[in-house]
Each structure stands twice: as structure tokens, then as C-alpha cells.
Structure 1
Amino acid sequence: MRYYKLVGHTPVAVNSLSEWQEYLHSAQNLVAETIVGSSKISTSFSGFDLTFGEPPLLFETMVLGGPHHGRMQRYSTWEQALKGHDDTVIQVMTIMPPSE
């Protein structure tokens, strides 16, 4: 698994797990957070890629609470994450809840 830190809004690979852990303790990784009714939409930088893909997926939007609870999307760049966050907020506001 590769680990990354943000330099500005750009992910940069780090050389070791300890360097990544040190970065996480000192960094603000929240990209955006929005409350819609009983749902919180949160987008953050994780700093690691569980998909092992190219390009790596390092950002994640998650819906917590409400009828869309658990909905998640991952992105490679800060810009994609911001757009994805906004798109998720709009979907939570306008799309009917998933059927049970």
C-alpha cells in the first residue's frame, strides 16, 4: 500500500508509514462537510489507496445518517473530491431515499 500526504491540495507519495502517520497527526484532512436534514456529507483526504489502482483513490465522500447513510464515493484529486461532494449534497437533497 502506498501512503500520501497533501502539499497544498496535491497528493504526494511519502517514503514510509511513519512519515504518513506523523503527517496525519498534524494535518487537517477535511475537504468539505455539509449537513442536509439528518444527514452529514463529509469529504476528506485519507492518504492511502485501498484500491491499488492508477490513479490512486485518496479522497472519500461519505454520507452519515439519514436515508442515504453509508453512501460513499472515492476520488483521485482535490478538485474531483470537491465536485463529488457538491454532487452528493445535491443528490441527498433531491433524490428519493433508497428503497428498503
Structure 2
Amino acid sequence: MRYVMLRDKKIVETDDMYEWMKANEFPNKRVARTALPSGTEISTDFFKCLIGKLDDLKGGFESMVFGGPLDGLRTRFDTWEEAEAGHTLFCTEIQRLEAELKQKAEEGAK
């Protein structure tokens, strides 16, 4: 059985279940976590419990939105670098959307 884990921000395989378990003990799976002023949070992490062939693995990283108008939205990325860029894009776009919704609500209240 092949175990997939994170080493030096790269997804690698191992046959050693104990190496895999030890690698997943450490909190080095978080790519980023951002709390926006609105209270919306965006979290981007590596999946700890991946088992399978590295060649078949896609989307080992996931960004997820907690709260706000896009609550529950998630997307996956193949590399740490893509996950970092995706996280930044999520933050930027969600802040833009929340500002737009706030402005429309204020205009509607007038």
C-alpha cells in the first residue's frame, strides 16, 4: 500500500506506514488561514490521510470558506504553490464580494 504525505511542501509517497503516521503528527499541513474583518474565514490545508498512487492523486490541498456569502465553498489544488495562490485569490475575491454586497445593502436601506 502506498501512503501519500507532505515533505518540504511537496507531496511524496512512502510504503512505510509508520513514516506516514509520524509525518502526519506535525501541524505542518496548513498552507494558510485568514480571518477577514467580516468574520469569514478561509482555510487552506493539505489532506493528512491520503492513501493511493501519487500519479493518480489530484487535489491534495483544499481551500474552504467558513461563513459569509460563500460559506462552504471549497476548491482543491495539486501543489503547495497553487494552494497559496488560490488562498490569496479566495481572500481577495471574497473581500470584494462582501464589500459589494454591503454597498448594495446600504443603498437599498436609503
TM-score grouping bracket, smaller chain normalisation? 0.7 to 0.9
- Structure 1 unpaired stretches of 5+: none
Read off the aligned partner of 1:46 and give its amino acid letter.
F
Q: Runs of at least 4 residues of structure 1 off by over 3 A?
A: 16-19, 52-55
| TM-score where L is the length of structure 1 | 0.78
Aligned to 2:3: 3
Root-mean-square deviation over aligned CA pairs: 2.6
On the 8 A contact 1:39/1:65 being kept in 2, the answer is yes
After TM superposition, the score normalised by the length of structure 2 is 0.72
Runs of 5+ consecutive residues of structure 2 not aligned to the other structure: 102-110
> How does 1:15-94 map onto structure 2 within 5 Å?
15-36=15-36, 37-47=38-48, 48=50, 54=56, 56-94=58-96
Paired amino acid for 1:92:
I
Following superposition, the deviation at residue 6 of structure 1 comes to: 1.6
- Distance in 2, matches of 1:15 and 1:75, equals 24
Larger radius of gyration: 2
| Greater share of helix | 2
